Every structure is written in C-alpha cells, then in structure tokens.
Amino acid sequence: MNRLADKVALVTGAASGLGRADARAMVEEGARVLLTDVNEAAGAEVAAQLNSLRAGCAAFMVHDVRDERRWEEATAECMRRFGALNILVNNAGVVVIATPETTTLEQFRFANAVMSEGVFLGCKAAIPAMRDCGGGSIINMSSVASHLGYPVFFAYGAAKGAVRAMTKSIAVHCQMNKYGIRCNSIHAGAIETPMVEQANAALGMKMQDYQAAPWGLGRPEDVAHLVVYLASDESRFVNGAELMIDNALTVQ
C-alpha cells in the first residue's frame, strides 16, 4: 500500500477496461487520479466508485484525446484540483476492423488520431507540467500489434507502432533535458476488456477462443499491476523500455 502516495495521475480512456483497472490500482496505492474519457456517464460512475474507497481521490472530466485544447484543460485541471501531475497513462484506444486493402483513409486517420496523435498531444501537454512538478512517469499503452502482423487490425497496429516509436524519443528527450521524466510503453496481448470482446464478436470469435490458446487471456488487473510499478519510484531506472505483458505470445 501507498507505493504512489502523494502522486497525481491522469488516465485517459478510464471509463472501462484497462483504464478503469489502472485508475483503481493507482488509487489503492495512494494516488489521486483524474480520469478522462468520452463516455461521461461511465467515467463519472468510475470516479464515484473510487471516491467511495477514499474520499477526494478521484475526479472525472470529458476528454476527447484528439483535441489539443482539451489536453491543455486536462493538465490544468490536474494542477487546479490536485496541485500536481506526476503520472500520465495514455490509454485511450479504438479498434478499426479492416485489412490493408479494405481500410479506408477515414478509418486510418480516425485510429491514428485517437491513438497516435492522442499520445503525442498528451505527452506534449503533460511534459511541461510534470517537469515543473519535479518529474514523473509517462506510460503509453501500445500493443503486441506493434510487433506482430494482424492484417484485420491494420490501422490499430499502425497507430500502436507509432506509440512504440514515440515513447523512445520522448524518453531520450526528457533525459537529455534533465526533466526527471521517464517514458515507457506497455505491449499487452489479449486482455479481457469490452473493446477486445467487441472486436472478437465483430470477427465472429468468442473470448473462449483466446482462453483455449496456449497464451490464454489476461485480466485488466494484470496490466494495472505493471502500470503501478512504472508509475512508482521502484522503476526509477526503467526508461524508454517496451514491456511485454502477453504470456510469451510474441516469442512463439
């Protein structure tokens, strides 16, 4: 307990799935968290649930990660409400199901606007605030799709590949400028989330299909434990890394 005491986090896509699990795990370790999402009802409900665990530990705001102005408002809200910004979890994501031949330019731009441009804008907005707070940890959600070929998730894989590359440049930039900000990427395999379930359903698959595979199906908490570690001072020498959490899927 209290591995993240006195730290403030901003988590995007926090209304469900990995974002919700990340926010809860950090709150349980003493952090205060600003949750953001485009789903206002679900996001507000998650914040209320977290505040029932510890009063005043969580707040929610509607946030489209494609909107640069809204990113500025989100970082400012962290400072106004909690007085700091120490942790950023760029988690918001979408899945477009289409191959390289069937993906439309509109679909490709949409996926990359959310997951590539959204991460860029988040890091750009958060770095000055985190620097002024004495440093911190940026955690970018990439995917095993940045390492493996998934033709039906072509736009998703392209965006996650961009996140993988941006993470390393951000880590080096902050290190060279002595900001005290670390930046790492997480590459999860199949995790039991609503987004994965919906994507599978669209492809005529069931979650049991993943469970039957050798690598199985992970839980959101499996990723959240890694997020807590990267957010904490325990990982002070982990920087620019890509951490796989896929039960050996990518090495088979």
> Is the Cα torsion angle 21, 26, 27, 31 positive or negative in sign?
negative
| Residues in CB range of 111: below 8 A, 6 or more apart | 94, 95, 96, 155, 156, 158, 159
Tell me what pLDDT residue 139 has. Answer: 99
Rounded alpha-carbon distances, angstroms, from residue 209 to 20, 133, 197: 24, 46, 11
Check if the beta carbon of residue 89 is closer than 8 Å to that of residue 19. Answer: yes
Tell me what pLDDT residue 1 has. Answer: 75
Identified catalytic residue from 150, 156, 179, 210: 156
Tell me what pLDDT residue 198 has. Answer: 79
Q: How far apart are CA 74 and CA 81, in angstroms?
A: 10
**Architecture of the domain delimited by 8-251:** 3-Layer(aba) Sandwich (3.40)
3-state secondary structure of 252: coil
Domain positions in the chain are: 8-251
pTM: 0.95
> Is 229 in the active site?
no
Q: How far apart are CA 154 and CA 102, in angstroms?
A: 9
Q: Report residue 29 as tokens.
A: 């370790």
Tell me what pLDDT residue 135 has. Answer: 98
Tell me what pLDDT residue 212 has. Answer: 79
Tell me what pLDDT residue 214 has. Answer: 86
Q: In the chain, which stretches have pLDDT less than 50?
A: none
Q: pLDDT tens across 159-217, in order? A: 999 999 999 999 999 999 999 999 999 999 989 888 887 777 777 777 777 777 888 88
